[in-house]
Amino acid sequence: MSDIRFAVRAEVQHRTEPIETAINLIRDHYKALTRTWSTTFTTIIVAFFSVSIFKSLLQPAAPRPVGDLVKVAGLARSFEPLIYYSEHAVAQVHDLQATSVAVWDLGESVRTSDMRDAPRIVADLDALSETMKTLAIEMTKFFARVDGDIDGILNVMDWAKMHLNRLKSSPSPSTISSAYDNIHNLLSQAHVLEDASGSPTTLGRLTSHIFGLSNPQREQRMVQLLFTEFLSVLEDSIQAELQHSVTLFALFEAVDHHFLNLARTVVRESSAQEELHADMLSSLWTRLLGTRAAELRKFEQNRLLLRDVRDKTVRNKGILVEHNGKLLTLKASLETLRSKLVSPLVRGVNSTTLTLEDQIRGLSDVSDYLGDVRKQQKGKVMETLFGSVPSKRFAIEDRPGTVIVNPL
C-alpha cells in the first residue's frame, strides 16, 4: 500500500514540476523588480512606456509630409481675372475687326482724291488696316489660349481630386501593416531607411523590394505626383500666356507706329491743303468764280476728308490704348503669379502634413468656384456668338389678308 502511495505522489510531483518552475521564475523576477522603491518605480515606468509603444505600433501610421495642394489651388484661383478678361473677347475682337475695315474704307476714300500725299496716306492706312487685322487674329488666339488654360487647370484639379478620393477610400490597413508602417516611419526618421533628402538608402531599397512600400510612402508619392503635375500645368499656362502677350505688345507697338506716321502725314497734307485753299480764295478778287468753283469745292472736300482721317485715327487709337491697358494689367497679374510659383512656401517639397480630407476640401472649394465662374463666362460668350440680335431688325404687321415685313 505504501508503494502505491509513493508512486502516485512521485507522478503528481513530476507533472507539476514545470508549473512550479515557472511560478518560481516569475516570483524571482518580481522580487528583483520590486526589491526597492526605486526599482519598483522604474519597473512601472518601463512597463507604461512599453505598453504605449506597443499600442502606437498597432495604430494607423501618421501621414508623411507632402506638397501643399491647397496653396497651389490658391494660386490657381488667381486666374479668375483671366476668365473675366476673356469674357469680353468677342466684343474686343469685333472692335478691332471693325476698326480694321473702317481704316481700309478710309484709305479707299483717300485713294480717289487728288491730294499730293494721297499715296503715302493710303499706304499708311493699308498698313494700319493689315496690322490691326493681324492683331485681331492674335487676340483671338490669345483668348482661346486663356480659355484652354483655364479648362486645363480645372481638369487637373478634377484629376487630382479623383486620385485623392481613390486614395482616401482604400481599405484600412491591417494590424501587421500598421506595425510595419510605423516601424518604417521610425527608421526613416532615424535616417536608416532614408537619407536627409528623403531618398531611400541601400537598406531602404532592399526593404521596399522585400516588403513593398509602406502605406505612408504610397500616399506621399501619389500626392507629390499630383502636386508636381498641378504646379507644372500652372507654370506652362503662365509662361505660354506671357510669351503670347509679347507678340501682342509688338503688334500694339506696330499699330501705334502706324498711327504716328499717319498723323504726321495728315498734318503735313492738311497744311498744304490750307495753303492751296488760301491761295485760291486770295485770287478770287481778280477773277470771277466760274470754273474755279469746282476746284474750291474739291479743296474743301479734301480738308473734310483729312479731318475725318484725323478724327477716326484718334478715336481708333483710343480703343487700342484701352485694350493695351487691359492687357498690361493682365500681364502684371501673370508676373505676380509667376513670382509666387517660385516661392519656397509653394514649391517646398514635403511642406505640409495636411490630411487627405483637408487637401480634397481645399481643391474642391477652388475647383467649384472657378468652375462656376467659367460656366457663367462660357454661357455669356455663347450668347454673344449665337444669341445676338442681328443689326437689321424687322417688324411684322398683321393686316386683313396681308402680312407685311417692314424694316425698322
Query: What's the pLDDT tens digit per position in 363-378?
Result: 899 899 998 988 888 8
Chain centroid to CA 312: how far? 39
Query: What's the pLDDT tens digit per position in 73-102?
Result: 888 888 888 888 777 777 778 877 877 787
pLDDT at 178 exceeding the cut of 70: yes
Of 89, 226, 96, the residue nearest 146 (C-alpha): 89
Per mean pLDDT, which range of 9-23, 90-104, 122-136 is the poorest? Answer: 9-23
pLDDT score of 397: 36
* Mean pLDDT score of the chain: 71
Query: What's the rounded mean pLDDT across residues 343-363?
Result: 72
pLDDT score of 159: 92
Query: What's the rounded mean pLDDT across residues 298-314?
Result: 55
pLDDT score of 67: 76
Give the confidence band of 47 by pLDDT, cuts at 50, 70, 90: low
Of 100, 85, 124, the residue nearest 245 (C-alpha): 85
Extents of the domains making up the chain: 69-169+228-407
Q: Look up residue 93 and give its three cell numbers.
A: 475682337
pLDDT at 42 exceeding the cut of 50: yes
pLDDT at 390 exceeding the cut of 60: no
pLDDT score of 200: 80
Sequence-ordered list of residues with C-beta below 8 angstroms from that of 88, at least 6 positions apart, any chain: none
CATH topology of domain 69-169+228-407: Hemolysin E; Chain: A; (1.20.1170)
Query: What's the rounded mean pLDDT across residues 14-34?
Result: 66
pLDDT score of 136: 85
The pTM of this model reads: 0.66
More confident residue, 8 or 99: 99
